[in-house]
Amino acid sequence: MSPDLQPGFRFEWSYTVPARATVPQLYHDTDFCRDMPDVLATGYMVGMMELACLHGMMPFMDWPREQSVGTMVHFSHFAPTPPGMTLAVKGEVLEVEGRRVRFRVEAWDGVERICEGTHERHVIDPVRFNAKVAAKAAAGAGAA
């Protein structure tokens, strides 16, 4: 990761909410969720906030040899957003400590602010990371 990524760096990202991101669609295999309002699911929104932060980091990383994974989320979801609306996500780097980067992020849906919070990511070496995941999967398969 480039040392140029510093606290105070700001970024923006936009994303149009697809129908698959609504509560009834995302959780289509859960009976009671199919009856819920057709609005952006909080879980999917959290993913969009993560992707916005990753997108903001990308110019400072040696992609794909360096990647990042989310390690902490703390978001408030204020308002419903129907599919088809475009989220405008704005973020700021709050802290960089080694390979850990902490962000403040908020999202607007064109009508109102729908989300705000903080997010943390760690830069990883995907080769080493994937080796650890494979070892864990093998250990888990042996335990079954």
Sign of CA dihedral 42, 51, 97, 136: positive
- Do 40 and 17 touch, CB atoms closer than 8 A? yes
| Closest-CA residue to 103 (of 81, 77, 72, 134) | 72
Maximum C-alpha span of the chain = 52
State how far the Cα of 54 lies from the Cα of 41, in Å rounded to an integer: 20
What's the one-letter identity of residue 8?
G
Secondary structure tally for the chain: helices H, strands E: 3, 5
The secondary element (H helix, E strand) that includes residue 10 is strand 10-16
Specify which residues 113 forms β-bridges with.
108
Catalytic residue positions?
42, 50, 77
